[in-house]
Amino acid sequence: MGIKVLTIAEQKDGKLSPVSLELLTAAAKSGGEIMTAVLADTADGLASELASRGGGTVLSVSHPNLKYFNDEVYAKILTELIKKYQPNLVLGAATFYGKALLSRLAAINDGAMASDITALETAGDTVSITRPSYGGNVIVNVAGKAGKTMFATVRPKIFEESAAGTGEVVVEQFDTTLFESRTEIKEMVGSTGQTVSLNEADIIVGIGRGIRGPENLDLARKLADALNAGLAASRAIVDAGWIEYSHQVGQTGKTVNPKLYFAIGISGAIQHLVGMQTSKTIVAINRDKDAPIFSIASYGIVGDLFEIVPALTEKFKAHA
Ligand X SMILES: Cc1cc2nc3c(=O)[nH]c(=O)nc-3n(C[C@H](O)[C@H](O)[C@H](O)COP(=O)(O)OP(=O)(O)OC[C@H]3O[C@@H](n4cnc5c(N)ncnc54)[C@H](O)[C@@H]3O)c2cc1C
**CA angle in degrees (0–180, nearest 5) for 183-188-192:** 140
What is the residue-wise DSSP string for 288-303?
-TT-GGGGT-SEEEES
Query: How crowded is the C-beta side of 183, counted as CA atoms within 13 Å?
Result: 11
- Interior angle at CA 242, CA 239 and CA 247, nearest 5: 75
| Binding of ligand X by 209 (CB under 6 A) | yes
Q: Which stretch binds ligand X (CB under 6 A): 48-56, 72-80, 188-196, 269-277?
A: 269-277
Q: Which of residues 157-196 bind ligand X (CB under 6 A)?
A: none
**Residue from 291, 294, 297, 313 that binds ligand X (CB under 6 A)?**
291
Taking the least distance from each CB to ligand X, the nearer of 88 and 248 is 248
Contacts of 78 by beta carbon, 8 Å cutoff, 6+ apart: 8, 37, 39, 90, 101, 105
**Taking CB under 6 A as the rule, does residue 67 contact ligand X?**
no
| Cα-based angle 298, 300, 302 (whole degrees, multiple of 5) | 175
**Is 287 a binder of ligand X (CB under 6 A)?**
yes
Taking the C-alpha atoms of residue 99 and residue 116, their distance in angstroms, rounded to an integer, is 8
Amino acid, single-letter form, for residue 304: D
Is 265 one of the binding residues for ligand X (CB under 6 A)? yes
* 61 contacts ligand X (rule: CB under 6 A): no
Contact 169, 9 (CB under 8 A): no
Closest to ligand X by CB, 82 vs 264, is 264
Which listed residue (208, 230, 258, 300) binds ligand X by CB under 6 A? 208
**Residue 245 DSSP code:** G
Binding part of the chain for ligand X, among 7-15, 165-173, 221-229, 266-274 by CB under 6 A, reads 266-274
Under the binding rule (CB under 6 A), the answer on residue 286 touching ligand X is: yes
H or E element at residue 232:
strand 230-233
Residue closer to ligand X by CB (options 87, 275) is 275
The contacts of residue 64 (CB under 8 Å, 6+ apart) are 41
User: At a CB cut-off of 8 Å and minimum separation 6, what does 209 contact?
Assistant: 234, 236, 237, 240, 265, 266, 267
234 sits near ligand X (criterion: CB under 6 A): yes
The nearer residue to ligand X, 31 or 213, going by C-beta atoms, is 213
Counting contacts by CB under 6 A, is residue 271 touching ligand X? yes
Nearer to ligand X, 217 or 236 (CB): 236
Tell me the closest approach of the beta carbon of residue 200 to ligand X, in angstroms: 20
Give the pairing type, strands 89-93 and 203-207.
unpaired
Residue nearest to ligand X (CB): 250
Residue 99 touches ligand X, criterion: CB under 6 A: no
Q: Examine residue 250 and tell whether it contacts ligand X (CB under 6 A).
A: yes
Q: How far does Cα 182 stand from its chain's mean position?
A: 27
Position 252 contacts ligand X (CB under 6 A): yes
> By CB under 6 A, is residue 306 in contact with ligand X?
yes
Contact range with ligand X by CB under 6 A, out of 28-36, 52-60, 176-184, 300-308: 300-308
Residue 248 as a binder of ligand X (CB under 6 A): the answer is yes
The minimum distance between CB 43 and ligand X, in angstroms, equals 35
Q: Would you tell me which residues interact with ligand X (CB under 6 A)?
A: 208-210, 234-237, 248, 250-253, 265-267, 269, 271-272, 275, 285-288, 291, 304-306
